[in-house]
A and B are shown apart, each in its own frame.
Chain A
């Protein structure tokens, strides 16, 4: 094991996959000599040159579209939208083109492309640079959506994404780039559709993903001091979603909290809560508690922290679910 930052783990995955397969390249705004807005690709241009570390104009639709065409013709592009907030500029290419061409062509075309983007709050970057828009993308059949929380998963999931023959939306969290964790020395691929039990527990199932996993772990520790044993599930991939692991845990605890940073209304947690309500009602001891971001644009000031769930919100949710 070696200890490295989330951004270094991502860089390691890019490095390893580009070394392994010369069809892999990275394209996006300032991914070259600038090294990426959050320094993920720093140094890679020295290793691979500007032919494979392709700095693009600020043209989000054409960046994704170029990746689709390159993928259809045999390359394995990793394209980057600097912020997920910019996804609207490229949504036709993502939702109408990348997601649908395999299906529309009756299985003839494949699009082995990773769309890296980065979201979330934590830097008071304002309403257009802080959003969690994964629900927009999870809604579209044909895409995979991946949201790693740990450095280890960032590396292992990015490698799996690059080797996937399907278009993958890979959403990093801007608040995690500097977080240090252990990453194995040896190669590791983390499969899609396998959630991670970040903490085992027997009283309450707390389902979450991305940076909220850390808030959940803190809340779980506090809850355990009060005698509530919380199991924290880090979903890791939102499509496919690991309902096996969710079901197993819910059958054990009978009590569920779903927590996510995105706006609460019609968020990822809404879907999970609905599925559990529809299909596991017989084991639920309490209605599912759903905690999400406030339904307001994200403010750029000190107000930012009030717009997303905090540890205290999760703790209260846990107590509510546990009937305290």
Chain B
């Protein structure tokens, strides 16, 4: 087997991870429509599973990351527990953030998740700081900033890319390019779409791949991580995909052409990859069915867990504002 070949076990993991994300996201969308999720905002990553699985499985223990607001899938690929994720999305006390974060702010220190972020581009410099620590401590770990094409025109991205390159920080700037920043198509937002050149001009090892092809993403991520882990500095990874739902779950995307949607939906990364693995005799139909059933059961459990979890109480409002809540208020104030 060549250096860049993927073993059959990993291939099945890539498929299984995508299936788990799809099942989770479809269920979250359904729960949102039924009014069971907290808050009015819900952003699904359906259609982007190959990016989450491909990069997520190329990461290692000790690596850290931050995501944008459409980050459920990425966290599942990094080990996120569906029970606690679903509970957080439901706004319950057993959620990752005890109901204080919701869908857009899930974080988990244990798995290196330094937080999902609802400010477009707001998470990027934080991931760069994670890379600063890896470098400061001379580890071989990496830090990944996941963000959408909508962040490609935020200034803080370029401040962070420059700093990471200046100090050879082990940071991947990973673009989940789903073609739309909310309702604005990428060509209406970016004067040039030669994004690889943007990365290269800052001195980053840069690569663009088909984000519907999970193996292309996985192999690309491995190559780029190897670059960073060996001390050669940051990378810029653009993965082209499509957001199968609208901006939010309830957005019918009137700004998109139906034939454009159909073209991308026909390229759904999951059935295509399943067929590839089955026709290559790497997995059987029964294997796939087993993984699908397990994913459905895992998601159903998560929904039950979330439904049964407690709603936060009013007293919880004031916890975790500070590590050290100094009381200086006296009888006034």
Question: Measuring CB to CB, which residues of chain A are less than 8 angstroms from any residue of chain B?
Answer: 25, 51, 56-57, 59, 61-62, 64-75, 77, 92-93, 96-97, 101-110, 112, 141-142, 144, 164-166, 192-194, 240-244, 246-247, 275-276, 278-280
Instruction: Kindly list chain A residues whose C-beta atoms are within 8 Å of the C-beta of B133.
Output: 69-70, 73-75
Q: Using a CB-CB cutoff of 8 Å, which residues 318-333 of chain B contact chain A?
A: 319-324, 326-333
A110 touches B323 (CB 8 A): yes
Supposing A69-B126, A74-B133 touch, asked if A166 and B159 sit within 8 A by C-beta, the answer is no
- Per a CB cutoff under 8 Å, which of A72, A108, A241, A244 touches B126? A72
A103 touches B125 (CB 8 A): no
Instruction: Kindly list chain A residues whose C-beta atoms are within 8 Å of the C-beta of B119.
Output: 92, 96-97
Nearest B residue to A73 via CB reads: B133
**Residue B203, interface by CB 8 Å:** no
Instruction: Kindly list chain A residues whose C-beta atoms are within 8 Å of the C-beta of B136.
Output: 25, 51, 70, 75
A69 touches B132 (CB 8 A): yes
Q: Using a CB-CB cutoff of 8 Å, which residues 100-155 of chain B contact chain A?
A: 100-101, 105, 107-109, 114-115, 117, 119, 122, 124-134, 136, 143, 155
- Per a CB cutoff under 8 Å, which of A25, A62, A103, A108 touches B159? A62
Instruction: Kindly list chain A residues whose C-beta atoms are within 8 Å of the C-beta of B122.
Output: 92-93, 96-97
B114 touches A59 (CB 8 A): no
Nearest B residue to A70 via CB reads: B129
A68 touches B125 (CB 8 A): yes
State the total of A-B contacts with C-beta under 8 angstroms: 178
Question: Measuring CB to CB, which residues of chain B are less than 8 angstroms from any residue of chain A?
Answer: 64, 66, 95-101, 105, 107-109, 114-115, 117, 119, 122, 124-134, 136, 143, 155-156, 159-160, 162-163, 166, 319-324, 326-333
B326 touches A59 (CB 8 A): no
Task: Give CA–CA (A313, B324) in the complex, Å.
Answer: 38
Task: Give CA–CA (A93, B107) in the complex, Å.
Answer: 17
B332 touches A105 (CB 8 A): no
B333 touches A275 (CB 8 A): yes
Instruction: Kindly list chain A residues whose C-beta atoms are within 8 Å of the C-beta of B95.
Output: 106
Supposing A25-B136, A103-B100, A104-B107 touch, asked if A72 and B159 sit within 8 A by C-beta, the answer is no
Q: How far is the CB of A176 from chain B (nearest CB, A)?
A: 24
Nearest A residue to B99 via CB reads: A106
Instruction: Kindly list chain A residues whose C-beta atoms are within 8 Å of the C-beta of B134.
Output: 73
B160 touches A62 (CB 8 A): yes
B163 touches A68 (CB 8 A): no
Can you list 6 contacts pairing A with B, beta carbon distance less than 8 Å? A59-B160, A73-B133, A92-B119, A103-B320, A108-B97, A275-B332
